[in-house]
Amino acid sequence: MKMTHCTKDSILKEAAIQIGAGGSAGFIEVCIMHPMDLVKTRFQLQVKTAKIDPLYYTGIYDCMTKMYKTEGLPAFWKGILPPIIVETPKRAVKFFTFEQYKQFFLFGAKAPSPLTFSCAGFFAGVTEAILVNPFEVIKVKLQSNRKHIKESPSTFAVTKEIVSKYGFGLNGLNKGLSATIMRNAVFNSFYFGFYHSVKRCIPVKKKPWLEFLTQIIIGFLSGTIGSCLNIPFDVAKTRIQGSQDGTQYKGTLNTMYIVYKREGFRALYKGLLPKVLRLGPGGAIMLVVYDHMHVFLTKKFKD
């Protein structure tokens, strides 16, 4: 009986450590990298027309300059409250469920394979997407607003408007759910699969700074390549959640087809550069902070 209690206590402690490390990683990453997420959303929402739009963005610098002039410096953090509120539980769920799915996909093997990491990452992404999608809907709505920050509606006002008009279903707070699931699942499948597989193959460096640099590089590559793989789903998600009438874009694959047919293949990769600039460094920040926080919390609470 005593052994069972110790085992349960140890499992609960490990779960708390995973959740604490994952939440810390997510909170730090979103605070630093949110402006790039906003720029990415603006690029994904704009459609080139014959009519000249003075606020049409031609590049990252152009977008940030126009935003600063017309909306003010705080506008770079528009829509940050929903990710801040959800980021700690979101990343906690992401890393915690990854560890649990990893055990499931071992299939009796003693050590995880690259396939184990990828499958665990895929389903961790699905779980994460279901949790985060309502906050994504609110965030995209806030980020699509081009008014000065002083005239922009609050997070609460936007949430109230969505719920009162469309409810909690697939036309309301869960709009674009399938696109969010595919975006997160594809990203996390590669992100975790690549990072853990490559990290395991590289010998541990004797110098701490060299080991830290190695982790940063692997994390950066994981986030960058993962972003390139999942961006068509991200574009579809943004279009579905950012459409005003709710009728133009329906379904993930249908939305991707509409974007491709009307705007060409390159339109499916709109916002790729700001996305890479966000999730490349952001991916590195998350994985490194998670690893170090996991070690720190393990020493503090398990030893």
- SS3 track for 62-119: HHHHHHHHHHCHHHHHCCCHHHHHHHHHHHHHHHHHHHHHHHHCCCCCCCCCHHHHHH
Measured in whole angstroms, the distance separating CA 23 from the mean position of its chain's CA atoms is: 13
What tokens does 233 get?
A: 């789903």
Superfamily of domain 15-294: Mitochondrial carrier domain (1.50.40.10)
Residue 278: both structure tokens together: 């966000």
Taken in order 228, 280, 124, 35, is the CA torsion positive or negative?
negative
pLDDT tens digit at each of 303 positions of the chain:
344 445 666 777 877 887 888 778 878 888 778 888 888 888 888 876 645 677 788 888 998 999 888 888 888 888 787 777 776 777 778 888 998 999 999 887 888 899 999 999 999 999 999 988 998 899 888 888 877 777 888 888 989 999 999 898 888 899 999 999 999 999 999 999 999 999 888 887 778 888 888 888 998 999 899 999 999 999 999 999 987 655 578 889 999 999 999 999 999 999 898 888 877 888 788 888 888 888 888 887 765
DSSP secondary structure letter of residue 47: -
DSSP 170: T
95 CA to centre of own chain: 13
Give buried/exposed letters for 260-272 (b at 16+ CB in 10 A, else e): eeeeeeebbbbbb
The one-letter code for the residue type at 43 is F
pLDDT, position 127: 94
pLDDT given for residue 51 in this prediction? 55
3-state SS assignment for residue 196: helix
Closest CA to 182 of 120, 123, 99, 254: 123
For 78, the 3-state DSSP assignment is coil
Q: What is the DSSP string of 137-154?
A: HHHHHHHT--S-TTTSPP
Whole-number pLDDT of residue 282: 80
pLDDT at res. 245 = 53
The pLDDT, as a whole number, for residue 50 is 45
| Nearest Cα residue to 180 out of 223, 140, 222, 221 | 140
Q: What is each CA distance from 300 to 14, 95, 134, 276, 291, in whole angstroms?
A: 12, 19, 35, 35, 14
Residue 227 exposed, middle or buried by CB count within 10 Å (0-12, 13-18, 19+): buried
Helix (H, G, I), strand (E, B) or coil at 171: coil
Q: Which residue, among 124, 129, 275, has the nearest Cα to 191 in the 3D structure? A: 124
Q: Are 43 and 57 in contact (CB under 8 A)?
A: yes
**Structural contact between residues 145 and 153, judged by C-beta atoms closer than 8 angstroms:** yes
The domain segmentation of the chain, as residue ranges, is 15-294
- Single out the residue of 221, 217, 294, 298 nearest to residue 24, CA to CA: 294
10, containing H or E segment = helix 2-45
Burial class of residue 16, CB neighbours in 10 A (0-12, 13-18, 19+): middle
| Rg of the chain, C-alpha, whole Å | 20
